[in-house]
Chain A
């Protein structure tokens, strides 16, 4: 199977990327080139193989560490918003959100 420009458009929209004509064309070629080498994965029989999400789980069981319920973060708004593009009265400003 190989991707089409329509797919590229759909994926770009999902990823919030803006690709003009030439960019889409190039992207299409590069992605299809990549997915050609992906084909070899189909040859591998993975029936009953558990996906490996956390590498060291292959040798021993990894489980989530839980922290005590303590609120210890001080208000650090000024420093946290230092690199914000648009702030007013402590709020991040964005183009109108329509619900």
Chain B
């Protein structure tokens, strides 16, 4: 089979099950393809031996008559998930060559489902960034325009899926790190409710915000991955929620009440927050988003005007809480038990300082400084505590909004993907560009990005859909209906 790379998760699984190809052939094909497109900077690590071993095991299971939606399907993981078969760097020099003695729960669950891991994907250092240009190793490039960023922090995942290097990948989203790169590269990605997927084995950035999710070429494929990834991790993660996993693919085929063939979303109320459609959003992005919403109306949905009054505030609130937690989470990187240690130092204190200053990049150091400051004596109440209070108000705003609508829709980001290097000298500009994704993360709500057309420079634009807690099924169904009626998600970058 020659066009294996064009197949999505479901189609590839079917082809493998039908013996039109094999897990080993698929793995081979995609590993070769990844090498051909190494200049994208999507991958950080491979281990062909381990990959092919997994593939052979999957083929054996198939030969033995076993069937499964992910059996034999090649995937790749954001390098923020620890793995035993591959080094884990979290995009940081601090963890150059780090070998984890265990697999992240999410990695293990996908492996158990028979998925084959191709390698580890590039990301911003410790998932801090929105352009993947904070990777200590190499920037990842956007396959739609290699001069532009693929978004971040899950930039490698987005670039690889968009460039057809892999049918699907894992990502993590702390303030938009799945949704924004998905939007920038024209793929589909979902961040589930906080606590849906285990955080065990995810190198921690901001513990009360981090959440794993799938990135793929369709809502249907995301559903297949999420069904395997989600579910409580009672033994390993105290914040993983006690909600048993669902079969999200099933939700896709379940029609809404009062739905019809022509109007599958009849009765669905889509809330449009005024704050997401203001002057802050670029016209080309707004145009694509409004066109998508018009399509939704054709599908039977009704558009409702709502308000999320504290959207602006989510920027300072998020950039106080996330760095505060990060400053503490990153204290374990001290050159004692693992990772980088400075070559020269005078004494213990000097070893700590040199090790951490050499090992952490500028953005990570910036956030450690902010986080350390807002937690320090005399400032805790004014900053951290205040931010956590406003965080509750923001979460309550969403609950208020969900009394008027079933899902909330708007842009994912104010612009399309920007040029590499354009914002790297201006951290604040990066923070401000997260304005539409942060509040969802602060509230711990599920959100996704669905390809909705193109904007300036023929760069992809994503439509953000936000659901209430545990409504991943409804979100995916809403996205799926749109993708049944449109072909934006099928568009692919030239040369891929």
A–B contact via C-beta, under 8 angstroms? yes
| A residues with CB within 8 A of B | 3, 7-8, 11-12, 14-19, 27, 30-31, 33-34, 37-38, 40-42, 44, 46, 49-56, 58-59, 64-65, 67, 76, 79-86, 92, 94-98
Q: A41-B386, A55-B443, A64-B238 given as contacts; is B373 within 8 A of A7 (CB)?
A: yes
Cβ-defined contact, B354 with A18, below 8 A: yes
Judge whether B50 is part of the interface by a CB distance below 8 angstroms. no
Q: A16-B356, A30-B428 given as contacts; is B239 within 8 A of A54 (CB)?
A: yes
Determine the distance from Cα of A3 to Cα of B383 in the docked complex, in whole angstroms. Answer: 14
The count of residues in chain B whose C-beta lies closer than 8 Å to any C-beta of chain A is 74
Determine the distance from Cα of A97 to Cα of B357 in the docked complex, in whole angstroms. Answer: 21
Determine the distance from Cα of A55 to Cα of B76 in the docked complex, in whole angstroms. Answer: 29
B residues in contact with A27, CB < 8 Å? 365-366, 369
Determine the distance from Cα of A33 to Cα of B428 in the docked complex, in whole angstroms. Answer: 7
Judge whether B396 is part of the interface by a CB distance below 8 angstroms. yes
Judge whether B372 is part of the interface by a CB distance below 8 angstroms. yes
Q: Report A64 CB to chain B, min CB distance, Å.
A: 6
Cβ-defined contact, B336 with A31, below 8 A: no
22 A-B pairs (CB sep. < 8 Å): A8-B369, A15-B368, A17-B353, A17-B356, A27-B365, A27-B369, A34-B428, A41-B386, A42-B386, A44-B310, A46-B386, A46-B389, A50-B392, A52-B392, A55-B194, A55-B208, A56-B469, A58-B443, A67-B235, A92-B336, A96-B348, A97-B348
Cβ-defined contact, A44 with B393, below 8 A: yes
Q: A76-B101, A96-B347 given as contacts; is B357 within 8 A of A38 (CB)?
A: no
Q: Which of B194, B339, B345, B391 has the most CB of A within 10 A?
A: B391
Cβ-defined contact, B336 with A41, below 8 A: no
- Identity of the chain A residue whose Cβ is nearest the Cβ of B84 in the assembled complex: A79
Cβ-defined contact, A46 with B390, below 8 A: yes
Cβ-defined contact, B341 with A85, below 8 A: yes
B residues in contact with A40, CB < 8 Å? 312-313, 316
Judge whether B259 is part of the interface by a CB distance below 8 angstroms. no
Cβ-defined contact, A15 with B372, below 8 A: yes
Cβ-defined contact, B316 with A41, below 8 A: yes
Q: Report A91 CB to chain B, min CB distance, Å.
A: 11
Cβ-defined contact, B352 with A16, below 8 A: yes
Q: Report B420 CB to chain A, min CB distance, Å.
A: 20
Determine the distance from Cα of A14 to Cα of B339 in the docked complex, in whole angstroms. Answer: 21
Q: A16-B353, A41-B387, A53-B208 given as contacts; is B399 within 8 A of A58 (CB)?
A: yes
Q: Report A42 CB to chain B, min CB distance, Å.
A: 8
Q: Report B172 CB to chain A, min CB distance, Å.
A: 15
Q: A46-B393, A58-B395 given as contacts; is B336 within 8 A of A37 (CB)?
A: no
- Identity of the chain B residue whose Cβ is nearest the Cβ of A36 in the assembled complex: B428
Cβ-defined contact, B373 with A55, below 8 A: no
Near A by CB (< 8 A), chain B positions 374-428 give: 376, 383, 385-393, 395-396, 399, 427-428
- Identity of the chain A residue whose Cβ is nearest the Cβ of B241 in the assembled complex: A56
Q: Report B313 CB to chain A, min CB distance, Å.
A: 6
Cβ-defined contact, B391 with A38, below 8 A: no
Determine the distance from Cα of A40 to Cα of B315 in the docked complex, in whole angstroms. Answer: 10
Cβ-defined contact, B97 with A31, below 8 A: no
Cβ-defined contact, B369 with A52, below 8 A: no
Judge whether B334 is part of the interface by a CB distance below 8 angstroms. yes
Q: A38-B316, A38-B383 given as contacts; is B357 within 8 A of A94 (CB)?
A: no
Judge whether B462 is part of the interface by a CB distance below 8 angstroms. no
Cβ-defined contact, B195 with A11, below 8 A: no
Cβ-defined contact, A18 with B353, below 8 A: yes
A residues in contact with B319, CB < 8 Å? 34, 38
Q: Report A12 CB to chain B, min CB distance, Å.
A: 7
- Identity of the chain A residue whose Cβ is nearest the Cβ of B372 in the assembled complex: A15
Determine the distance from Cα of A97 to Cα of B76 in the docked complex, in whole angstroms. Answer: 42
Interchain residue pairs A-B with the least CB separation, the first 5 = A55-B444, A51-B388, A52-B392, A85-B341, A79-B101
The contact of B101 among A55, A67, A80, by CB within 8 Å, is A80
B residues in contact with A44, CB < 8 Å? 310, 313, 386, 389-390, 393
B residues in contact with A58, CB < 8 Å? 392, 395-396, 399, 443-444
Cβ-defined contact, B337 with A52, below 8 A: no
Cβ-defined contact, B334 with A54, below 8 A: no
A residues in contact with B391, CB < 8 Å? 51-52
Determine the distance from Cα of A49 to Cα of B372 in the docked complex, in whole angstroms. Answer: 24
Judge whether B161 is part of the interface by a CB distance below 8 angstroms. no
Judge whether B442 is part of the interface by a CB distance below 8 angstroms. yes
Q: Report B364 CB to chain A, min CB distance, Å.
A: 10
Q: Report A13 CB to chain B, min CB distance, Å.
A: 8
Cβ-defined contact, A31 with B234, below 8 A: no
The contact of B194 among A38, A56, A83, A97, by CB within 8 Å, is A56
